[in-house]
Every structure is written in C-alpha cells, then in structure tokens.
Structure 1
C-alpha cells in the first residue's frame, strides 16, 4: 500500500512535544520530514525529559527520541541573512511547515503565515500555540501542565479532598499533535482540489476542550458546574467506576440494563434483579448509595484478577487496574505492537495502516545538514563557508 503522504515534504520547525509529535505522525504516514533546529543545543527537549540523564546529556533524551525517529536534522541559524536564505529555499521545496512559536517570534523573524505564503503559495502552514490566533491570549506562552490547569481539566480530576490533579502523562501535548496532523491532512486534501496552500491554526486549549466535549455540552445545556468525581464513571451509573478488591482495583463500565443483569448473575447476586431497590435503572439511581455499598463489599471478597476473569467471561465491561509495565504486556499491546511499530521501533500511531515509511533512527543535531543543503543547490564551498561562520552545524 502506498503511504498516503508519500512525496510530501514536511519542515518540522518545532520544539518540546506537541509540535515534534505532529511532524512525527505525518512522517509515519509517509512524509519526508526535515527537522530544523538552531546550532548549538538544538531542540531543548534533546536535553531534558525522561529518566535517562546520560542520554539527555548527549542531546538524545528519551522525551526527544519518542518523536524524533524518521526525521532528517538540519541545524541552521535563521537569525542570520544566510541562514534565512537557506530556510526560504527550504520552504520553497516544501509542502508543509509545522511550527509552534509565539506570534511575536514569527513577526520578528518575518515568518508569519503571511510571509511564508509569499515564499511558497502552495505551502500548508500549521501553527501550534497555547491559545490559537486572533484573541487576547494569542501571545501567551503555555505548556501542557498550564493548559490542563486553565482548561478546567484539572478541576475535574481528583476529589474534594485531594483537590485538582494533573494527569500522569502530557496528554494535551500528544492530543494537540494528533489534532495538528489531522488539520494538515485536511489542508493537503483541500490543496489537491484548489492548488492553494492554507493556514492551520491549532490551539492547545481547544484541544483540551475537545477532550472534554460531552462535559462541555452538558454544562452548556444545563448550567450545572461539573464537579470532581474521583474514580466514579462519567455515566454516573452506580455500578460503574473503580472499586477496591481484596487485591488491586477493578474498573466497571456497567451503564446499560443488560450489562447490569449480566453483572448481577456473574457475581452471584441474581436477587438484585428482583430487589425493588435495584431492579430497574430508575430504582438503582434512587438507591445508588446502597448499591455502591453492596457492590463494594462484594468486590472486596476476591482479587481484581479473579473478578476480571469472571466478568469478562460474562461479557461485562471491566478492567483490572494495571501499571504501565503491565499494560504494555497486554495482548492488545503486544500483538499490535504499538510501543514498537513506529520508525526504528519507537511508538506508533493509534491505528494501523499497511504503508511503507522511513525507518531512520533519531538523528544527532545537524546530522543531515550537508546533504540537505546540497539537495537545495548549495555547493561544498557554500556549505563550508556557513560551517566556518557557525551559521549551520554538521554533526559527525
């Protein structure tokens, strides 16, 4: 199967997580990706993130490696006239520019979407920022943790006792990367019909809102302020949520009447089906505290592993709480190889396609500078002159 983005060149002028992830996803769909970094330290994420300090000291932190494979690396100083000329030539050769700089930085460098459109009218310019363009917060800096706080997402986690809690992984960064890739794909589809480039304006805040869509709709239509519910299910079903067991915890997703009936039979509580307190969904909602107490007491008599086996056999939606290490050993993880099916064995996309793509390992800063410049028409003398003046960097 031909990769959907085969023949598409993406310029990855990004840093940290969300922007590099967007370009990485496009590369997994077959695009040629050239990462543009400043000479010296390059993307700051090369040197921080993850628990492997030795790799970070070498400019290849695990956080960088995660979305660094399958890309070429060009190190060039865009703030010099020669470096700027290199970048403009690169943009003329490209189909997509992905960047996550604040608007003031783009204005200063004269690389806003208006400037890049003048350089290459067919370019799809994808800008990823904390709050999107054309509003009073457009210039405000933001990281994943800031967006989790300001979006209301953190206010929904934890309990009244714990207070707000950030999610354990940078989910907004990676969701924003996926949103950006979707926007770029849409713009490329449109360009196929019009021949014109486009501006894709990606907001981390709106990405967070998208992850809370049903919660937002409920609030908009009812005016009811959502409250932190701990491990209770959003469905508000008393037979859904995360429950302690004799060992471990069990997550139940019992929201429909047939599911409740299957649960009652499987756990030996068929009498609940004739108990007027629990026999109907309305009755269970009225007596949710009593049902939750009875269910909790029963689940505490056996381990989460035992209950998971029993309930899955009965067709009841459930899952035993697992650590990341345990989750990565699940058949749905090992058989589909998400953790290793990306370029050079790094993480893949959350869907499978039969495409061929670059399998290049993450590159050292500037590893491809000379070859890229040659392809753009610069001769060895030009490259050597730029190297000697430190406008570019070429790793050995």
Structure 2
C-alpha cells in the first residue's frame, strides 16, 4: 500500500484529455488508488494524440497520455453496455471519489447522474469538470483551448497592442481547471470527514480562466479600468536582447533597485528621479536606453547571476533543453527517471511540491486495460470467468447506513471551517493561494509588517490609500489582518502564540530569510508539533538558487514556458502572465494535501514548493517530457492548432474586437464555408482535408477575416456555435462583467457582510456550500483586537495602534 498523503483514497476516474486527467494524476501521485475507466480498444482519446515516443503512432506511445496518466490503473469497460455499466456501479460503491469530464448531460444519459450515484454511495465525492460548468447558457457550447482563453478574458491581455490577441502555447485553462478540481475534491473530502456527507463539485474551465485575470477584472468592477495588451507598468520588467539570447530584467524587490542599478554602469540611473518605480515609469524610454548597452554586452547566465546577487529577480528565457539542464532542477532531483513500460526509461518531471513526510510516488502510465481483470477480481471479489453474473442488488447499503448515522451532524459553513491559517505571504502567488483557503472557509490571518506593506496594498500611504485598492480587496478577501513586527521580541512571541493555536503557516520568502529569524518549519514544529508549514519560495528552499528572488516573469522565462508562446512565423516569444495565479493554486493544493494526511494520522509536515517547479509541472510537463523522449521542440503556432484548420483569431466590428474559431473536421469546414458564403472554398480540392487547409491557412484566414470584420464578435460566436463550431469572442473585462453565462451562474458576487461591490466568485463550486467571500480584503490591522484579545486573551492595552508615519510600502526604494 502507498505511504502517500492520500493513500487511503479510492478514486474512480472517468476523465479524458487534459483537465480531468491532471486532477487524477495528482491524486495518484500523492498516493490514491486511481482506476481509470477507458473505452475498450481505443481508450482515452488522448492516446491517439501526439507527439508519440519513438515516432510510433500507437495508442500506447502518446507522450501527452504518458504524462497525464502516471500512477493510474487502466480498466477497460464499455459504459454504454449493460454489463459495463453494472461494473461501474459496483466501483462507485467502492470509491471515495469519482472524477468525470464528459460534456454536461452525458452522465445523465448513461444513468450516472449525481442523484443516481448518491443513492448508490451517499458518501461519494463526485467532481465534474467541463468547459462551461453543469448549468448556464453556455453549458453546451463547443470549445477548444483558444475558445476558452478568449472567452475568459485572458487572451485580450496577451500579445502586442497593435496586433490580434494571442493564444498561449500551453494549455493554461486545462491545467488550472485540473488544479481547481483537485482542490475541490480534497475540500469536499475534508467536509465529509466532519459530516459524513458526500457532494458534487462543479468545475468550469471558463471560470477557472476568468479567475486567472482576477486583478484586471476587479479593477474594472470597482474602478472602471479597462486593461488590454500593453507593456508591464513596472520598468524594467521584461526580456531584453543580450549577447546570447534574451535576459529577463526585473526591477524588484524594489528596495534593492538603488544598489542593483549600479550593475548597468550608467551613472545617470543612480539619480534620485529614478529611485522610485514611479520615476522609472515616467522615464521608461530613457531607463531602457540606459540599461540596454550593459545587457547587450553580457550573456544570459552572467546577467541572471549578477542581478540575483544584488537581490533582484533577474532570469533569462530558457529553451526546453536548457530548462531540463538547470542546475536548480538537478540539485533538487526534480526530474525522476521513470520506466514507461514500453521499453524506455525517461526523465519525467517529478513532484509538483515536496512533502517532507509523504513524498510523491512516480509510477508509469498504464497500458490500455492493463489492470481490468486484476482490479475487478480484487476489488469486487468476482470470478473472472463469470462477469455477467454481476447485479446491482444491495450495492451501497453499508454506505447508506453510515450516511443515516451521520445525518444528525451539523453542516458547517465552508468546507475548511475550523482550519486556521497564518499567512506570511506577499505579492500575488502566495496571497492567491491563501485566498482560495479563505474562500473555502478557513480562517486566514494575514500577518502584516508596517514598514513594508504588501505590494497589493499600494505604493502610497497618504490618505489611507493602503485600505482603498481593489486588487487588495480581491486577493485578500475573507482574510483577517494583524500587524506584527517580528524584530520586536514581544510581537515575535505573539506570533508564536498564534502558531500554537493554528493549523497551517504559509510563507513565500526566499531561502534563508525565515531561517535566520528562527521562523522556519524546523523551529516552529517545536512550538506546534502537528503544524503544516508551506514554503512557497521562487526556487524552493534548497539548491544553488534557493536564496534567489523571483516573480511570475522570472519563472515563466526560466522554466521554458515562455519559449512556447508567440505569433505564427515569428521568433519573438510572448508572456502569458498567469503564472502567479497558477503558483498560488498549487499552494492551496499543497495545503489541502497535507491537511488530508493530518486528518488521518494527526501529523503535520513541511511542504517545500518551488514556484519554478510548479510552473514546470503544471503548465509544460508534457512538453518537457516530449523533449526528454524525442528531442521535440514544439513550433510556436500563434493562434493556429497542431491538428485542426483553420484555427485563428479574426477581427470583428469595433475597436480591438476579435473572435476566435476552430474547425475540427470536414463537416465543420463545409458548414463554415456555407455560413460565410464562400462556395468556392468548399469546392476547392486543395482544401478538402485538414492537411490541405493547413497548407493554405493564410488564404483561408483572409476569407474568414473579411466575413467576421463586418459583424460583432458575439454575433459570430452565436452563429457558429449554433452550427456546433467552437467559436468564442475575445472578451475584455467589461464583457465579463455582464456576460450572460457568468451572470446566470452567479459567478459575480457581493461579500456576505453586506458590501455592494461585485467580486469574481470562487471557481471551485461545492454543492453543499458555495458561499460568497465573507468580506473584502481587510483594512490594515482591522483584526488586531480580535486576534490579541479574543484569540490570545491579551489585554486591550496590548492592542497596537497604527500611525501612518510608521508605514512604508513595497515600492519604496
């Protein structure tokens, strides 16, 4: 039996392609027994998607399948046959969790809707992952990754301002939704542990995508600011050409800029007008003119290490080959040699985060139907020779009795009610992770340091601007704020007292920072023996880069992820910008994994999460594996697709208005030609196959653009979707604020304390509790009295008062 954190769990996996399988891959990697139900003969359709190992187009050789299905067991069953369906119902009675990502309605047609499943096993957690969720006007819309990226608002911010929006070279919506499904599943299991109740988790890839642009959306909802494709507001904060490629030059942490600017050997940069980030923003062109000569004279490695030695989060754009060979990855044993069961052994990305007591288990993906006989014989105690004798009589009676016994229990508000989290994080990734925990009901206490407030609070203290910023309200909603100075012995003791009554500590400092203060896991476990301690350092807490700083731009470049996104035919790559949110989601996933283990054993542990590794695992794992296996570097495709044509982003009526479409088969091609009134295209012998359409993509794009440019994007979307074609308008934040699907699903919410402003909702929907945020991000020190007096029993005289003269910001030089 596995010793992983989730070793007690039994999972029935009815997923295919990417999002669902990524959720169940994580469950398997952390110890759950995952039975993957596949169609006999063909299996998961992903088995037929390349690239293939050894160049062999065989269903057992698909690299994406090998990546997404590690550690699972394959059971071949036909869900459309009566015997197959009965087998599945027996497995439902056995399982703790069922994960499926069929189109909404399919499970009902199979006779496996949630109500039926609940009757079989009332304690079961059923997690459904779909493009637009189980209900709402877009429920049955067709979508590919570009469709979801467009309709979620992310695409509007990716690419150049004077060109069409750009799709990513990585499946961001798929992987973030898979992570949300994993978190939702574990949160529902935590709820079951307290109440005995199963429930249904509804994950929409569309909402997962919207959550990735939470800051852009909240800025519109509260201030009417419409963001679009543009340069980063900070300067410098992008890639610059250097001697051997592109260097990532980031001017933060901002307190290190004045010293770090000496690197550029440009005395003018040391003038006071450039000390603050606001001054550099005003003088953007001059700053970039001054730094470029030094950058041009150095190699990427030289620039990376020189900047980091000054405390600045420099990096460089790495290729997949360079990412595989990063000394940090090698020192931390991130890549794990894995036998693929097909005659090969390759370096797979290993654990997305490292649990000190319950490590990740890396096992190969299964052959189709490899475990059918063994699983059914062992789990159901059946005679292999007589499977047709199976019946559903008596299924789940034990579970029904257990559920009846638990019926009198009170259902708490929020799956994580009763869990207390101390939040030492700053910027975006860490706070996003703890925001998810707060959304799910945990009491999250944010520890704030007055001389250097979090970046999200604002760069100005005058007139309490630190209490007025929408991005702070969003990312720290539902949390409490207490102000403590760990340099003060008395306030340090206050923090330690809080540790004694808490369950989780989350921090994202560079390696060595908390260790020097005696606030690392090895120190705090002596204070609270079962504490769960999550470290979210940019590069992890060990290895040669452990003390290095990093932001999303640093991680995206060094991981190799940035090398995959760019306009078709261009060698210049582009950022996708969602890296911080992805890393934050991984942080919440790590906490819930360790919490599950503690529920079963009473033991806490340390989690060492490297944001470089989570990007590598959670966004480009399949690409790193393909390179390790075949030396394959995927071409930069822009808005085109590797298997379908045409696929692209086309102009529509209005300024900067665009619409995407994907033609996935010959029938859809003929439908499109009829809709745009181009019979010559449908009759053109060159365009009768996808190969031919790919060869003449430019010509087809011109014809489509001529048609779309005379129509509104929403009109094109609705017209094409009515014909079963995956089409989606490129939404901006204003579109999202009134999107009929998001409105119908109640995604935009007000806080439960009576606030009137709207907030993006929680993309993790639990059927037994989907409460709105308790309150907006708290005012500075709002909960000092509650924490010191109510929680710790201190006197009113010990409650600190805040003086603006004592305040500083993260933007201060």
Deviation string, structure 1 residues 81-108 (Cα, Å, up to 9, x no partner): 1111111001000000000011221121
Q: Where does residue 381 of structure 1 map in the other structure?
A: 385
Q: Give, in whole Å, the separation in 2 of the partners of 1:72 and 1:51.
A: 21
Deviation string, structure 1 residues 257-296 (Cα, Å, up to 9, x no partner): 42321231122234422254x2443332222222222223
Indicate conservation of the 8 Å contact 1:11/1:36, yes or no: yes
The farther-off stretch of 17-26 and 156-165 is 156-165
Alignment of 1:107-146 (within 5 A): 107-146=108-147
Q: Where does residue 42 of structure 1 map in the other structure?
A: 43
Q: Where does residue 455 of structure 2 map in the other structure?
A: none
Which fold has the larger relative contact order, with Cα–Cα distance below 8 Å and residues 6 or more apart in sequence?
1
Indicate conservation of the 8 Å contact 2:216/2:227, yes or no: yes
Pair 281,61 (structure 1): closer, same or farther in 2 beyond 3 Å: closer
Q: Where does residue 10 of structure 2 map in the other structure?
A: 9
Pair 257,13 (structure 1): closer, same or farther in 2 beyond 3 Å: closer
Q: Give, in whole Å, the separation in 1 of the partners of 2:385 and 2:155.
A: 55
Alignment of 1:68-147 (within 5 A): 68-147=69-148
**Which of 289, 314, 317 is residue 318 of structure 1 equivalent to?**
314
Pair 237,379 (structure 1): closer, same or farther in 2 beyond 3 Å: same
Q: Give, in whole Å, the separation in 2 of the partners of 1:8 and 1:24.
A: 13
Indicate conservation of the 8 Å contact 2:266/2:291, yes or no: no
Q: Where does residue 769 of structure 2 map in the other structure?
A: none
Deviation string, structure 1 residues 46-74 (Cα, Å, up to 9, x no partner): 11132547444143300100022211111
Q: Where does residue 354 of structure 2 map in the other structure?
A: 352
Deviation at 1:162, TM superposition (A): 4.1
Indicate conservation of the 8 Å contact 2:336/2:362, yes or no: no
Deviation string, structure 1 residues 358-393 (Cα, Å, up to 9, x no partner): 65422111111111221213212214899xxxxxxx
The farther-off stretch of 171-180 and 356-365 is 356-365
1:179 lines up with 2:183 in the alignment: no
Q: Where does residue 21 of structure 1 map in the other structure?
A: 22
The farther-off stretch of 358-367 and 3-12 is 358-367
1:260 lines up with 2:262 in the alignment: no
Q: Where does residue 366 of structure 1 map in the other structure?
A: 369
Q: Give, in whole Å, the separation in 2 of the partners of 1:26 and 1:343.
A: 20
**Which of 238, 245, 249 is residue 235 of structure 2 equivalent to?**
238
Deviation at 1:335, TM superposition (A): 2.3
1:250 lines up with 2:247 in the alignment: yes
Q: Give, in whole Å, the separation in 1 of the partners of 2:145 and 2:76.
A: 26
The farther-off stretch of 98-107 and 220-229 is 220-229
Q: Give, in whole Å, the separation in 2 of the partners of 1:44 and 1:53.
A: 19
Indicate conservation of the 8 Å contact 2:155/2:167, yes or no: yes
Deviation at 1:220, TM superposition (A): 2.3
SS of equivalent residue, structure 1 residue 191 = helix
Pair 357,284 (structure 1): closer, same or farther in 2 beyond 3 Å: closer
Q: Give, in whole Å, the separation in 2 of the partners of 1:318 and 1:279.
A: 18
Unpaired runs of 5+ residues, structure 1, are 387-396
Pair 339,173 (structure 1): closer, same or farther in 2 beyond 3 Å: farther
1:303 lines up with 2:306 in the alignment: no
The farther-off stretch of 125-134 and 324-333 is 324-333
1:337 lines up with 2:338 in the alignment: no
Q: Where does residue 523 of structure 2 map in the other structure?
A: none
Indicate conservation of the 8 Å contact 2:256/2:310, yes or no: no
Indicate conservation of the 8 Å contact 1:25/1:349, yes or no: no
Deviation string, structure 1 residues 218-276 (Cα, Å, up to 9, x no partner): 232222221212xx43xx11222111123311112214542321231122234422254
SS of equivalent residue, structure 1 residue 57 = coil
Q: Give, in whole Å, the separation in 2 of the partners of 1:357 and 1:52.
A: 24
Indicate conservation of the 8 Å contact 1:60/1:364, yes or no: no
Pair 61,303 (structure 1): closer, same or farther in 2 beyond 3 Å: same
SS of equivalent residue, structure 1 residue 346 = strand
Indicate conservation of the 8 Å contact 1:342/1:348, yes or no: no
Give the number of aligned pairs.
381
Indicate conservation of the 8 Å contact 1:4/1:30, yes or no: yes
Pair 83,299 (structure 1): closer, same or farther in 2 beyond 3 Å: same
1:188 lines up with 2:189 in the alignment: yes
Indicate conservation of the 8 Å contact 1:262/1:316, yes or no: no
Indicate conservation of the 8 Å contact 1:27/1:33, yes or no: yes
Q: Where does residue 281 of structure 1 map in the other structure?
A: 277
TM-score when normalising by structure 2: 0.45
Q: Where does residue 771 of structure 2 map in the other structure?
A: none
Indicate conservation of the 8 Å contact 1:46/1:56, yes or no: no
The farther-off stretch of 369-378 and 35-44 is 369-378
Q: Give, in whole Å, the separation in 1 of the partners of 2:365 and 2:245.
A: 38
1:293 lines up with 2:265 in the alignment: no
Q: Give, in whole Å, the separation in 1 of the partners of 2:288 and 2:348.
A: 42
Deviation at 1:120, TM superposition (A): 0.8
Deviation at 1:193, TM superposition (A): 0.6
Q: Give, in whole Å, the separation in 2 of the partners of 1:370 and 1:14.
A: 20
Deviation string, structure 1 residues 126-166 (Cα, Å, up to 9, x no partner): 00011112211122233323211221212211103442222
Q: Give, in whole Å, the separation in 2 of the partners of 1:105 and 1:296.
A: 57
Q: Where does residue 266 of structure 2 map in the other structure?
A: 269
Deviation at 1:348, TM superposition (A): 3.1
SS of equivalent residue, structure 1 residue 85 = helix
Q: Give, in whole Å, the separation in 1 of the partners of 2:115 and 2:311.
A: 55
Indicate conservation of the 8 Å contact 1:69/1:343, yes or no: no
Indicate conservation of the 8 Å contact 1:250/1:304, yes or no: yes
Indicate conservation of the 8 Å contact 1:16/1:44, yes or no: yes
Unpaired runs of 5+ residues, structure 2, are 341-346, 391-813
SS of equivalent residue, structure 1 residue 12 = strand
Pair 294,13 (structure 1): closer, same or farther in 2 beyond 3 Å: same
Q: Where does residue 157 of structure 1 map in the other structure?
A: 158
Q: Where does residue 489 of structure 2 map in the other structure?
A: none
Indicate conservation of the 8 Å contact 1:18/1:174, yes or no: yes
Deviation string, structure 1 residues 281-322 (Cα, Å, up to 9, x no partner): 333222222222222344223333332232222222100111
Q: Where does residue 392 of structure 1 map in the other structure?
A: none
Deviation at 1:343, TM superposition (A): 9.2
Indicate conservation of the 8 Å contact 1:53/1:61, yes or no: no
